[in-house]
Structure 1
Amino acid sequence: MVGVKAFSAQRASFRFGAMVVAVIAGAGGAATYVGVQRAAPEAAAAVVTRGAAAGGSAPPPSVKASSESLPVSDTPFSAKLSSTDIPEEGGGVRTGGCSGALVATDWIVTAGHCFHDVHGKRSSGRPDYHMKVAIGKQTDSDPHGHVVEVVDTRQSPYSDLALARLSSPITDIQPLQLPDGPPKTGQRATFVGWGSLSSKVIVQSDHLKRGDFSVHSVRQYELDLEPVHERTVENSPCPDDSGSPYFVPGDDGGHVLVAVENFGPDCPNPGLETAARVDSIRSWIHQQLGS
C-alpha cells in the first residue's frame, strides 16, 4: 500500500518502526520522518509512505570492514537519536531515528530534517515528540554513557543541519571541536553512525558503525565525500544515519567536526555522500550555543 502526498525531484527514505517512509525535504522542510535519506536545501518537502509487512525477514548479517579509522571506543561523542511517538498527519504515531554528535556539554548536532512538525516541515523549539539521545555508548547494551532527551532545537538557515539541546549536560565526554577553516579536497575524515545495517529491513544498528572517507568536492554549504575502502553496511551511511558526523583529528588529542551527513541512503551507496559543512556556519553555531 502506497500513499503519496507530494514529491520533489530528490528522493529520501525513512524508517518508522514497521513503516518505511520516503521523504524529500528542503532546507525548510524535511520529511515527516526522522531518518531521511535525502533532504536537499531549498527543495520542497514531500512524502511517500509504504507499509512494511510485520515480522519481515531479519537484516542480513553485517559485513565487517577493514578500516583505518579510530576504534569506536575513541568516539564517545557519538549520539544515537530515537523516538517512538512521532505524530503522523493522518493520525497515529510512528518511530524513527537519526545519528549525531556532541558539540557542547548540552548540545548535539544532527540533520535538520530529524526534527519537524506533523506536516513534515523542519521545526525549531521543543520537538512535538520525545527524542531520546544515547551518548557515550558503543552498543545498546553498553552500561556506560548517558541517555537524555532533546528539549530544544535550532534549525540552520543554510543547510540541512540542526542543533539540539539536551535535558542534562554531559560533563564527562569531550565534545567535538568546531573547525577553524574549510575542508580541502582529498582530506580524510572518519564517519560514525547508528544507522541500519540493511536498506530493506530498516532498524537502527545495536552498535556504532564507522568508516573512512575523503573529501571529493566542496560547495558553499555542503561537501561530497567518497569512501576510502570498499563500502559495506558497517562502514558507510545507511538509513537512520542522517546527522552522522564526519571528523578529523585535532591538535590537542581531540577531534574536529568537518561535516554532518545529510542523508540516510540505501546502502551500500554507489554514489558520493553529501554532508552539511560545519565551518561555513561556524558563527551561527556559536551564536546558538551561547544563547
Structure 2
Amino acid sequence: MKSLSKFLVALTATVVAGAVSTPAHAIADGDGVPDGKYEFAVKIDDIGIPTADGSKRNSSCSGGLISPHWVLTAGHCFKDENDKRVSRTVADKTIATIGRADLKGKAGFTANVVEVRQHGDADVALARLDKAITAITPLKLNRKKPTDGQKLRLAGFGLTSGTAKKTASRLQTGQFEVTSVRKIELGVEGIAPRRTTSACPHDSGGPYFTDAKPAVVVAVVSRGPRCPHSGADTSTRVDAIAPWILSVVGADLKPKPTPSKTRPAPTKVAAPQKQVSEPTPPLLWIAAIPLVLLVGALLVWSLRPRKGIHRRR
C-alpha cells in the first residue's frame, strides 16, 4: 500500500506539473537547421551558477544576435541563487556561441558574456559580448504591432521533448502562428512541421522571427506548458520594448566610419622654365659700325710704307 501511495503521489505531481505554465527553453517536434542558416541564432551556456545550498549548476538558454556586441534573450536566463532576475552574469563563465547550427562543429564564433541588462517589466534581457561579431547579419527589431494569424519562425538550442536529458546538439526550428496580442506579450502556437511543435526547456530567449531577409525578430520565448504540446506559448513582444532595446544597443548599430582608401592626389610641381637670353638689340650693332670702320682705317694707314724712310734690318 505504501508503494502504491507513493506512486499515486508522484503521478499526481507529474500531472500538475504538466498543467502549470513553466519557463520554456527549446523546440519539440521541430526540424534540424542546416549549416549556414539562421546564423544569428545564439546558444548561451552558463557554467557554474550558484545555488541556494552553496553548490553550483550549469544551464543554457537561446538568444538572437541584434547587433555586433549584443544578444537578445529572456530575462529569467539570469537569476541569482535566490531565484531573482539580476542585471549581471550569474555564472562563473557565460559563453555565447553564434553562427554554429551544429554545436559539434567549428563554424561561427564564441564570445564571453560580460554584461547583462534586464528590462524589468518584460521577461527580456540583453547580454553584451566581449568582442564584436561583424561577419554575421544581425536580426532587425520589429517596430510594428503583430497581428493575429501572423506567421513566425522560432530557432532554439533547447530540449526536443519534455523528458529529454540533454539539449539538442543541432539548432532546431519550427513555424508558429500568432494567436493573441496583449500589451507586451504574444500567444504563439505551433503549426509546422506539426501541430505539437512547441518551445521546450532551454529555448528560453529564442527569437520568433520573420523569414524575410534580413530576418526581423518579433518576439522572444518566455514561458509555456510542458512540451511537446498543442496550444499557445507565451512570448514577449519586441515592438513593445524596442525603445528600451535601442537605448541600450543603439550606438552599436551605427556603422563605424571606415578610413578612405583613396590616396591624396600628388601636388603638381611646376617644371622649371628655361631661361632664354634676350637678343642684343639691333640698334647697338648699328651704332658700333662706324667705330669698327674707323679702327680698321687707322690700322691700314699705319701699315702703309712711307717714301724716304728706310727700315732697320
Structural mapping, 1:82-97, within 5 Å: 82-97=45-60
Residue 203 (structure 1) aligns with: 166
Tell me if structure 2 keeps the 8 A contact 1:204–1:240: yes
2:186 equivalent to 1:226: no
Given the alignment, which residue of 212, 230, 248 partners 1:288? 248
Matched, 1:146 2:106: no
Alpha-carbon distance, 1:273 to partner: 1.2
Counterpart for residue 268 of structure 2: none
Question: Which residue does 1:41 correspond to in 2?
Answer: none
Specify every segment of 5 or more residues in structure 1 that has no aligned partner in the other structure, as ranges.
1-9, 14-21, 25-35, 39-61
Q: Which residue of 1 aligns with 2:233?
A: 273
Residue 200 of structure 2 corresponds to residue 238 of structure 1? yes
**Is 1:115 aligned to 2:78, yes or no?**
yes
SS in 1 for 2:163: coil
Q: Tell me if the contact between 1:127 and 1:153 (Cα under 8 Å) persists in the aligned partners.
A: no
Quick check: 2:113–2:127 contact (8 Å CA) kept in 1?
A: yes
Is 1:254–2:249 an aligned residue pair?
no
Q: Which runs of 5+ in 2 are unaligned?
A: 1-15, 252-313
Q: 1:288 is paired with a residue of what secondary structure?
A: helix
CA–CA separation in structure 2 for the residues paired with 1:118 and 1:79 = 24
Q: Aligned to 2:198, what secondary structure does the other structure show?
A: coil
C-alpha distance after superposition, 1:11-57 (max 9, x if no partner): 799xxxxxxxx996xxxxxxxxxxx449xxxxxxxxxxxxxxxxxxx
Aligned to 1:74: 37
Structure 1 residue 157: Cα displacement? 2.1
Of Structure 1 and Structure 2, which has the larger fraction of its residues in strand? 1
AA matched with 1:86 = I
Q: Do the aligned residues in 2 keep the contact of 1:12 with 1:37 (CA within 8 Å)?
A: no
Q: Matches of 2:222 and 2:200 in 1, distance apart?
A: 11
1:84/1:130 contact within 8 Å kept: yes
Residues 69-117 of structure 1, C-alpha deviations (whole Å, 9 max, x = no match): x866320000011122011011110111111010110000111000011
State the alpha-carbon separation in 1 of the partners of residues 224 and 95 from structure 2: 19
What is the Cα-based RMSD across aligned positions, in Å? 2.7
> Which of 122, 137, 142 is the matching residue for 1:174?
137
Cα deviation, 1:207-240, whole Å, max 9, x if unaligned, reads 00000011101001000011122245xx531111
Distance 1:259 1:206 in 2: 24
Q: Which residue of 2 aligns with 1:42?
A: none
CA drift at 1:63? 5.8
Q: Is the 8 A contact 1:127 1:150 kept in 2?
A: no
Contact 1:72/1:208, CA 8 A, preserved across alignment? no
Q: 2:246 and 2:239 mapped to 1: Cα distance? A: 11
Structure 2 residue aligned with 1:130: 93
What SS does the corresponding residue of 2:117 show, helix, strand or coil? Answer: strand
Compared CA separation, residues 180 and 201, structure 1 to 2 (3 A):
closer
Whole-Å Cα distance in 1 between the matches of residues 104 and 152 of structure 2?
27
Distance 1:283 1:11, change over 3 A: farther
Output the amino acid matched with 1:186.
G
CA pair 118-189 structure 1, distance change in 2 beyond 3 A: same
Please tell me the residue identity of whatever aligns with 2:131: S
CA contact (8 A) 2:78 2:88 kept: no
- CA shift at 1:256, angstroms? 0.3
1:270 positional shift: 2.9
How does the TM-score come out when normalised to structure 2?
0.68
Q: For the Cα contact (< 8 Å) 1:76–1:136, is it kept in 2?
A: yes
Question: Counterpart of 2:77 in structure 1: which amino acid?
Answer: C
CA distance in 2, matches of 1:142, 1:127: 27
Seq. identity, %: 36
Match of 2:69 in 1: 106
Whether the 8 Å contact between 1:231 and 1:268 is mirrored in structure 2 is no
Query: Which amino acid counterpart does residue 189 of structure 2 have in structure 1?
Result: E
Residues 84, 264 of structure 1: CA spacing in aligned structure 2 closer, same or farther, 3 A cutoff? farther
* Distance in 2 separating the partners of 1:64 and 1:118: 33
CA distance in 1, matches of 2:30, 2:238: 29
Q: 1:218 to 1:11 in 2, by over 3 A?
A: farther
State whether structure 2 residue 150 is matched by structure 1 residue 187. yes
Figure out how many residues of one structure are paired with residues of the other and give that number.
234
Using the size of structure 1 for normalisation, the TM-score is 0.73
Decide whether aligned partners of structure 1 residues 278 and 196 sit closer, same or farther in structure 2, where only a CA change above 3 A counts.
same
Alpha-carbon separation, structure 2, partners of 1:249 and 1:260:
15
